Amino acid sequence: MPRVPSAEAPVRPTPSGRVPRPTPAQEAPPPAHLPELLRRLAETYLPSPPAPRVSPEPLDDLVETILAQQNTSALTRRQFAALKATYPMWEAALADGPDGVEAVLRAAGGGLARIKADYIWNVLHRLEEVQPSGEEGGPLSLRLLRNMNDAEARALLESLPGVGMKTASLLLLFDLARPAIPVENNIHRVAGRLDLIPARWNVLKAERWFDEVLARDWATRYTFHVSAIRHGRQTCLARRPRCEVCVLRDLCPSAGIFLEDGPDTR
């Protein structure tokens, strides 16, 4: 069940006398029908979620996540396969430098090769710097994430160059079976049209809202993430939402607007 904070709870001053800023869920309390909304999305798009997966090497998954940005799945797989064929160990990519990594990515196809090469090489360089004592010269790895708690794992990931909140959340949810809740454009659009969050919020604030209101368990968050993305891609389209077949139509304040006035780009 969602964790629904009380809309009546007062915001108490801190010991310094300052009143803290309200949390996202205090600014926009979740509606009473949120559990029904989650149930319908899951029933429609992901009735049988998979078993959680813990990656044998999260560093591989982080590199794939970097490659996936503004890329197709096919190109991501091709570029990653090319990197692994050229560099069986990530130390070889580090030694080859960003120019070498860029050349491999360009040969495999896809855009932003220089930017992604820099990100990947900088991550590897940073990991070499923070290698645990006693492991200098050992293989570059992020396997230690598997033994950290959620907060520690996120802190380490977000300390790496180019890894922000969303990338860390993706890795935590999909590759470490942690109850993170990454919010991408489809989820952000769906949440805005359902009036769950204010339209002015960006995806990072939306993620903090979902982190407050969703039950802190992997299955709930994985199911919502996947089903909401599928809903955004198949039904709640950016330009022509298919409100007439939407399973959330009676819960969505935007449905009447789109059905009466025709699709727009909200």
Q: Do domains 31-49+180-261 and 58-141 have the same CATH topology?
A: no
The CATH topology of domain 58-141 is Endonuclease III; domain 1 (1.10.340)
Please, are residues 239 and 180 in contact by the beta-carbon 8 Å criterion? Answer: no
d(CA 152, CA 147): 9
d(CA 148, CA 102): 32
Alpha-carbon separation of residue 169 from 62, 175, 176 (angstroms): 11, 10, 10
Check whether 59 has a pLDDT greater than 80.
yes
CA 165 and chain centroid, separation? 8
d(CA 70, CA 117): 14
Catalytic residue numbers?
166
User: What's the confidence (pLDDT) of residue 138?
Assistant: 67
Check residue 197 and report its DSSP letter.
Answer: S
Check whether 135 has a pLDDT greater than 70.
no
Predicted confidence (pLDDT) per residue in 9-53, tens digit: 555 655 666 778 999 999 999 999 999 999 999 999 999 999 999
Check residue 145 and report its DSSP letter.
Answer: G
Radius of gyration of the chain (CA): 21
- Under the banding of pLDDT at 50, 70 and 90, the label for residue 130 is confident
Please give the CATH architecture assigned to the domain spanning 31-49+180-261: Orthogonal Bundle (1.10)
d(CA 48, CA 61): 24
- Beta-bridged to residue 54, according to DSSP, are 176
Question: Domain ranges in the chain?
Answer: 31-49+180-261, 58-141
